[in-house]
Amino acid sequence: MSDRITTPFGAESTAAEVLAGLDLTGRRAIVTGGASGIGIETARALAGAGAEVTLAVRDVAAGERVAAELKAPVPVQVRHLDLAEPTSVGTFVADWAGPLDILINNAGIMASPLLRTPRGFELQFATNHLGHFALATGLHPALAAAAAASPTGEARVVSVSSSAHHRSPVVFDDIHFERRPYEPWAAYGQSKTANVLLTAQ
């Protein structure tokens, strides 16, 4: 068991506070779901610290509007990514070139009615966890390359979760609600627990 990691930051901390005083010039970052909410503010903070930011978004037009509004010192890139679609994740990974210092797994959907991907996966779990898992593992060579070139020998993968993980464990016997009654918040909570477990690995 590794030592417990502690931080001076908490639930009220902003991305800008976390990055205050850091110089990320020359570092490359991807923010999934960077066209709205937390994703925008995370991208703003990373770009403000000098990082080369790519917004990985379903709606490219919305991503382009955000990129223009950020007025970052380094141009913000926008690329299509649909985390619920494995082919989209595979294309994004295949098209990525060069090292990657920071991957922010932020995109997600919350408490939706029961929706399924074409493969039959429950949509919240597919989007919030499975897509990010495939993205992170697919980009592992890029992250490893960045870590090898970094003075600290590190790259970062950040998975955005929430206290909603208390609502449900990952129910491995029926992840996709094929046999149990569907409950939107339980499905969301399960996906957030999976985010936490991914981060702990």
**Residues annotated as catalytic (active site), given as ranges:** 188
DSSP state at residue 4 = P
CA distance readout (Å), 20 to 4, 27, 108: 23, 16, 26
Q: Which amino acid is at 96?
A: W
The tally of CA atoms less than 13 A away on the side-chain side of residue 5 is: 4
Q: Which amino acid is at 160?
A: V
- DSSP helix/strand/coil, 2: coil
Sheet with strand 77-80: strands edge to edge: 77-80, 52-57, 28-32, 102-105, 156-159
In the structure encoding, which two tokens stand for residue 171, read together? 């129910």
Task: Compute the chain's Rg from CA coordinates.
Answer: 17
Cite the DSSP H helix spans in 51-183. Answer: 60-70, 86-95, 123-125, 131-138, 140-149
